[in-house]
Amino acid sequence: RQQWQKVYASRIPVSQARQEIERLAERYKELRMTMPSGVQRTFEMESVAGRMRALAPEVKYSVQEVKDLLQSSDQGKRLLGLSVAEWSGDPIYFDLVLHLITHSETAFEQTIALRAGQKMVSKLDTEQKKNLQAALIEQRNFNQEEKRWIKPDSNRWILSDRLLSALNE
């Protein structure tokens, strides 16, 4: 996947990277609005998120820009922020990623937040690890109305298992 992402990013001139990644954020919102939920929509949204990760090193967002994206009320911008945070694996974004794990608007958003958390787990301090573990345990008590999206036999359950295992290493 990483090799494909590098090839994809290398085909886009640096000057166009920000324009392209912002177009992808709009495409994500369009997919959510126009396609019925299901396997095909998830595949399309994963494709958008993957292209965002591929472009992340080219856009050269500042830390503050990424933090602003992660806190945006715009779901496309939040996905963009999560994609950059996942690509970087930098724990400087941990608190905002943790917030999106516990307060995701959608199951897909939580999936990307979990993957971003997985990329930074080895760099977290003891307090951050404790907070992540508590959040995962709470979110595994699935309740769609309360936006706790981690359901047994889901990809999020598998991701949360991996994270919980990594936290105990």
Tell me the two tokens of residue 141: 């008590």
Judged against a pLDDT cut of 80, whether residue 9 lies above it is answered with no
Report the C-alpha gap between 60 and 50 in whole angstroms. 17
**Between residues 90 and 154, the one the model is more confident about:** 90
Across-strand partners of 135? none
Arithmetic mean of pLDDT, 26-33: 97
Please spell the DSSP secondary structure of 7-56, one letter per residue.
HHHHTS-HHHHHHHHHHHHHHHHHHHHHSPSSHHHHHHHHHHHHHHHHHH
Nearest Cα to Cα of residue 28 among 109, 96, 93: 109
Count H helices, E strands: the chain?
A: 9, 0
Q: What pLDDT score was predicted for residue 57?
A: 87
List of residues 6+ apart from 159 with CB closer than 8 A: 111, 114, 115, 118
Judged against a pLDDT cut of 60, whether residue 83 lies above it is answered with yes
Q: What pLDDT score was predicted for residue 147?
A: 86
**Between residues 142 and 85, the one the model is more confident about:** 85
Judged against a pLDDT cut of 70, whether residue 13 lies above it is answered with no
* Cβ–Cβ under 8 Å, residues 57 and 9: yes
Distances (CA, A) of 50 to 10, 40, 78, 144: 14, 15, 14, 26
**Between residues 81 and 13, the one the model is more confident about:** 81
Instruction: State the DSSP code for 8.
Output: H
Report the C-alpha gap between 11 and 60 in whole angstroms. 16
At 153-162, the pLDDT tens digits run 889 999 999 9
At 131-145, the pLDDT tens digits run 999 999 999 998 888
Percentage of the chain lying above the pLDDT 70 cut: 91
Report the C-alpha gap between 82 and 93 in whole angstroms. 9
Whole-model pTM: value is 0.89
Average pLDDT of the chain? 91
